[in-house]
Amino acid sequence: MQTLSGKVEGLKLEGTYVFRGIPYASPTGGLRRFKPPAPPLPWQGVRSCERFGPTAPQTPALEGILSELKQSEDCLVLNVWTPENVSDGLKPVMVYIHGGGFVGGSGAECDGLRFASEEGIVYVSLNYRLGALGFLELKELLGEEYATSGNNGMLDIVAALQWVQHNIAAFGGDPSRVTVIGNSAGAKCVASLYVLPKARGLFHRAIVQSGATQAIRDPQTAGVTTRGLLEKLGLSSANSRQLLELPAEKLIEAQSAVGFDTSHGLHMFGPVADGLVIPPDPLATLKHSQELPPLLVGFNEDEAAIFIQNDPRLQSPDLEVLEGFFGRNADAVWYAYQHYSKSVSPDVAWTRTLTEHLYGIGAMQFAEAVILSGAPVWMYRLRCGGRLGAIHGYEGSLIQTALAAGNTGFMPTPPSDDPYAVTAEMRELARGMRSAWSAFIHNGDPNTKLLPAWPVYGEDQATLVLDLASSVRKDLPAPAGIHVPHQVWRMA
């Protein structure tokens, strides 16, 4: 296959052609650390793309595919799955942005085989720089040469989308029908693309699962992260240029210490409203934008239950803990918890409060801003879930289960203790979600015969509640605190 940088050779796999580890930008180590991505270096001959490329530097994974892959600052690569039969015209393109709290993950986690072989979609997954290497604000310390450092992870994604525009037709993909999709931190990246001027025209619809623009930080919050990292590294402003020379492993070790300090919240990284890459007031900018891409967005009713189970600090309501997560908005979140505690048990009130203020409010504020621009929006709320309910990431479990079942419809019996287990009774919902997501990627409208008619989200706030018996609701209660200012979260 011919790209602008050179020829690539992949492998044939179950009705698809797979190309792994294609460079979409130059290496970012050495003199290029903390700088925006540069075009990929050309190569001679045919580049073998049978194996995944290196992951972005991060805390080493203990198991799974990430534990098997090398880490390197030469990580800006992407992967393409394309249908074997592309003789009947160019196919829609799906670009998946992985999650991981802005500090972990890889495009290698994402498998596009079923989307390509059964849905006729050209699937792309990618790596982007993470943590300090992708989102550390350094302009004040290192000068204008590093003015975009707080958003280099986002600029990496933009560079990958530019690569798609220039090269995907050679893989059978239609560059005029590109859908970006992400879950969790990946969803926050996708939503942030809406406010990046550099991303305009590079995608044509988006699916945002459990995340929105709430991860965008103001420069002051970003500065707290930078100072915390310097402190952990034993550096001062005067010798901060040592950041350019330290081994990447030292940066990852230090950022992990900062990121899990109880005074800073769980995750400290994310895009920055620097006024250069991202405007100072992202939501206000959206409201006055024109010709934004159609949006499918939503969240799950029990998102926070998995965090409460896994983090001892969250297992009891605590205003001090909320201050670590929500900063100046902590009082509003505490008020919401007290409000819910009057009608439900403390445990339910705590889960509902964290879910709404980590995900629900952000999704609704983002959707309403996109609507004001004139773009169509479809909102979902997932109610069906496993033993902990519809937890963070559960919509991905349903869709992936439906994909794995394929045309056979076979769904194996899952382990009973797995909170992400999908049971056989959820088969029809999983199939319906797969069908809706695929329809949206193909034509920009998620309506299919497998789910109730799904109206656009507007003044009546019509929302498709995804459950064993799905229904459209216009009477869902607004979250307590829905009118609080646009919030800056630190959890992904």
DSSP letter assigned to residue 478: P
The letter for the amino acid at 472 is V
CA distance 220 to 328: 12
Q: How far is CA 84 from CA 8, 12, 156, 401, in A?
A: 16, 8, 29, 23
Q: List the catalytic residue out of 301, 303, 356, 395.
A: 303
Three-state secondary-structure class, residue 139:
helix
**Phi, psi for 92 (deg, rounded to 5):** -65, 155
Q: List the catalytic residue out of 98, 267, 357, 392.
A: 392
Three-state secondary-structure class, residue 395:
helix
Report helix angle 346-355 to 330-341, nearest 10.
Answer: 140
* Cα–Cα nearest to 152, from 173, 176, 127: 127
For residue 395, give both structure tokens. Answer: 């919509």
Q: Where are the alpha helices (DSSP H) in 234-268?
A: 248-259
Let me know if 253 is a catalytic residue.
no
β partners of residue 272:
217
Let me know if 125 is a catalytic residue.
no
Let me know if 323 is a catalytic residue.
no
Which long-range contacts does 222-226 make (Cβ < 8 Å, 24+ apart)? 222/137, 222/150, 222/272, 222/274, 223/137, 223/140, 224/264, 224/268, 225/136, 225/137, 225/258, 225/264, 225/268, 225/269, 226/136, 226/137, 226/138, 226/140, 226/141
CA distance 338 to 317: 10
Neighbours of 32 (CB within 10 A): 16
Q: List the catalytic residue out of 106, 117, 149, 184.
A: 184
Residue 105's Cβ-count burial label (10 Å; 0-12, 13-18, 19+) is buried
Contacts of 81 (CB under 8 A, 6+ apart): 16, 17, 18, 111, 112, 113, 115, 116, 122, 123, 124
* Cα–Cα nearest to 264, from 229, 218, 304, 214: 229
Residue with tokens 């979250």: 479
Residue with tokens 């052609």: 17
Three-state secondary-structure class, residue 404:
helix
CA distance 19 to 81: 7
Question: Which residues have a catalytic role annotated?
Answer: 184, 303, 392
